């Protein structure tokens, strides 16, 4: 029979890459690990020839397989003897349908435990004006029903990713270095409100720690809040920019989400705008930032279990420097 297997869906994504590489490292550095020494690690990707997939394929202890995880069935899970799984679904209007189908398949196939990526804890509620945190709320509510008692699960309510929070500042610095002139620095952040932005890699490291736990049952039904090691304000982002361009930023716009407009319009096909994937639905993502600006997403909200098991390490400054080098 196939060896018991830990499944990583979307293994080349923001968090999936960290989950896969962390599990590989743990299995290599601790060959007698009670779980990893007896389990195969199966990493799925839709792009096996991509640089990220090739990097994964070179890591010890990993098997990389081309597969679109939304197409996974109970029979497929059984055939690969999947006992534990990681999933990070895309924030799209069909998110609930796609991810809930995966969880039903896991329940049907007898998978023991699923670790999933949720969203900023303050937004995961039924009345959130943004559509995708409601999907996360609905998924967590579904998993918590008696009907799903046979499937262990852990939901990681990660704060806004530092890479997303800092991308406009990184682009500003790169443009200044290239042209020597300044445009307007537009930031999602409020000027003085602290937010515990988190590096997606750190989220993946924590997910790997849960997936490889000897007694994974202690994490069943848990919702863990993940933040970075320090809070970040808009003013601090401006300071980081100024340190790297060696000049004072002339024009700053805080709480600016205009960068989303082009992305949102491109994400919705014109013929579908009268459907459930309407621009009105998709554009509601702009409301997720309200809780950041209200001060509800600080480092102080981090779950104690996260701090005990695998606290986030990468500071916003470290992430900023890495992005500038990329």
Average confidence (pLDDT) over 303-323:
98
**Which residue, 228, 89, 202, 213, is CA-closest to 152?**
213
- CB 252 within 8 Å of CB 187: yes
Contact partners, residue 282, CB within 8 Å, separation at least 6: 93, 131, 264, 267, 268
Question: Is residue 22 predicted with pLDDT exceeding 60?
Answer: yes
Helical (H) or strand (E) element with 45:
strand 40-45
Going by pLDDT thresholds of 50, 70 and 90, the confidence category of residue 265 is low
> What percent of the chain is predicted at pLDDT more than 70?
94
pLDDT in tens, 101-157: 999 999 999 999 999 999 999 999 999 999 999 999 999 999 999 999 999 999 999
- Tell me what pLDDT residue 275 has: 46
- Tell me what pLDDT residue 276 has: 47
Q: What single-letter DSSP state applies at residue 89? A: -
Question: Is residue 273 predicted with pLDDT exceeding 50?
Answer: no
Going by pLDDT thresholds of 50, 70 and 90, the confidence category of residue 264 is low
pLDDT in tens, 144-159: 999 999 999 999 999 9
Going by pLDDT thresholds of 50, 70 and 90, the confidence category of residue 49 is confident
Structure tokens at 297: 């997403």
- CB 296 within 8 Å of CB 225: no
Helical (H) or strand (E) element with 155:
strand 152-158
Average confidence (pLDDT) over 165-171:
96
Contact partners, residue 7, CB within 8 Å, separation at least 6: 42, 44, 77, 80, 82, 84, 85, 86
Q: Which CATH superfamily groups domain 5-160+198-228+298-314? A: NAD(P)-binding Rossmann-like Domain (3.40.50.720)
Residue 126: half-sphere exposure toward Cβ, Cα within 13 Å:
4
- Tell me what pLDDT residue 266 has: 53
- Which residues partner with 7 through β-bridges? 42, 85
**Which residue, 56, 49, 51, is CA-closest to 8?**
56
Domain with CATH 3.40.50.720 in the chain: 5-160+198-228+298-314
């Amino acid at each position: 029979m196939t060896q018991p297997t830990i499944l990583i869906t979307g293994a080349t994504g923001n968090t999936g890459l960290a989950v896969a590489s962390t599990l590989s490292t743990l299995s290599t550095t601790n060959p007698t690990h009670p779980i990893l020494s007896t389990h195969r690690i199966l990493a799925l990707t839709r792009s096996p020839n991509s640089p990220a997939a090739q990097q994964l394929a070179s890591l010890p202890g990993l098997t990389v397989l081309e597969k679109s995880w939304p197409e996974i069935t109970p029979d497929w899970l059984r055939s690969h003897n999947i006992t534990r799984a990681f999933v990070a679904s895309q924030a799209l209007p069909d998110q609930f349908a796609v991810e809930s189908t995966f969880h039903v398949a896991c329940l049907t196939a007898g998978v023991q435990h699923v670790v999933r990526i949720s969203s900023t804890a303050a937004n995961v509620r039924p009345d959130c004006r943004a559509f995708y945190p409601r999907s996360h709320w609905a998924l967590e509510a579904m998993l918590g029903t008696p009907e799903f008692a046979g499937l262990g699960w852990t939901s990681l309510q990660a704060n806004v990713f530092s890479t997303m929070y800092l991308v406009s500042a990184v682009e500003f610095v790169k443009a200044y270095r290239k042209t020597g002139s300044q445009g307007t620095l537009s930031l999602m952040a409020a000027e003085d409100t602290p937010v515990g932005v988190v590096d997606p890699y750190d989220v993946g490291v924590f997910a790997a720690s849960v997936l490889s736990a000897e007694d994974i049952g202690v994490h069943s039904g848990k919702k863990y809040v993940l933040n970075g090691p320090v809070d970040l304000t808009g003013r601090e982002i401006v300071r980081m920019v100024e340190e790297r361009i060696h000049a004072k930023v002339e024009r700053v716009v805080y709480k600016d989400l205009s960068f989303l407009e082009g992305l949102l319009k491109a994400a919705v096909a014109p013929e579908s705008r009268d459907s459930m994937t309407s621009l009105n639905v998709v554009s509601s993502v702009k409301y997720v930032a309200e809780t950041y600006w209200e001060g509800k997403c600080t480092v102080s909200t981090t779950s104690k279990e996260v701090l005990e098991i695998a606290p986030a390490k990468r500071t916003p400054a470290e992430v900023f420097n890495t992005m500038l080098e990329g």
